[in-house]
Amino acid sequence: MLKQSNCSFTILYSEFLGSIFNLRIYLCRMEAFLKNLFADQQYNEKSFFLIAGPCVVENETLLMEVAEKVSASCKKLGIPYIFKSSYRKANRTSSTSFTGIGDVAALKLLQAVSKKYSLPVVTDIHSEPEAALAAKYVDVLQIPAFLCRQTELLIAAANTGKIVNVKKGQFVSGEAMKFAVDKIYKAGNKKVMLTERGTTFGYQDLVVDYRNIPIMQSHGVPVVMDVTHSLQQPNQSSGITGGNPQMISTIAKAAIAAGADGIFIETHPDPSKALSDGANMLRLELLENLLEQLIKIRKAVL
């Protein structure tokens, strides 16, 4: 009986070592696509990476101001940085909400930011034709949470060869996100990230289950914490999504402590005047101080 138990233990231990070895191989590959993405930046390789910018492309002045200030902070702190802004907002509560300045015009502005500040850029896509269009201008294609199960959209994004960042639906478990990863892998693209952005709690609130960070990392991909969207308060009677921005620091700190690979924060010089998601965005002048705090936590947990 003891001999059989020892044998079983040996088999299980071997399988465990094998899985760890395979994970290390994957992590090296994952690290390679991120290193390629950040090739034009100098940063601390042990740092988390940052995805940040205004929710939607409003105008050139806004994009350039945010890119200049955030990139300067990231250079100072050794944080690799991806500039984010949606060229079009398709998921709006009200038909009167701002959706964009025009697809090509907005994409060209994102490309201009990338060239001027030597930054990779990410933007959302909502349909298969948008994947090919946006891929001409940006480095990372982002799948909105509501669309994370749309097979054709995931495949179209994968087929561009760009990095694909899939946001976990508010209605999906971290475990179930392995199917989104599999769809992209089977299309021949191994450059995948997953983003946690909260889970529906009742009709007008979200909660964050931090177990989803290690759970989604177990799928072999880097995991980002979308801090600001996790603080949305959707489905308001006004037709405008509410938010809880005073909790941004709390959500971000907990995510770094839980081991998130990246942090996603939408930021604006004056959120009260933002044309989308102003209720949950971080005021731009507050970002650097928050990043300094997150770096301290990252060092403590490594």
For the stretch 203-213, pLDDT in tens is: 878 899 999 99
For the stretch 180-203, pLDDT in tens is: 999 999 999 999 999 999 998 888
> What pLDDT sits at residue 244?
65
Distances (CA, A) of 87 to 56, 62, 215, 248: 6, 13, 31, 24
What average pLDDT does range 112-128 have in this prediction? 98
**How many other CB atoms sit within 10 Å of the CB of residue 10?**
10
Query: CB under 8 Å, gap of 24 or more: what pairs does 146-150 form?
Result: 146/91, 146/170, 148/172, 148/177, 148/180, 149/179, 149/180
Least confident range from 1-10, 79-88, 129-138: namely 1-10
What average pLDDT does range 268-297 have in this prediction? 92
> What pLDDT sits at residue 53?
98
> What pLDDT sits at residue 96?
60
Name the burial class of residue 246, with classes exposed (0-12), middle (13-18) and buried (19+) by CB atoms within 10 angstroms of its CB: exposed
Which amino acid does the sequence have at 58?
Answer: E
DSSP string, 82-113: EEE-BS-----SSTTS---S-HHHHHHHHHHH
Distance linking the first and last C-alpha atoms of the chain: 41
Token pair in block for residue 2: 């003891």
Instruction: Give the domains, in start order, of the chain with CATH numbers.
Output: 47-301 (3.20.20.70)
> What pLDDT sits at residue 90?
72
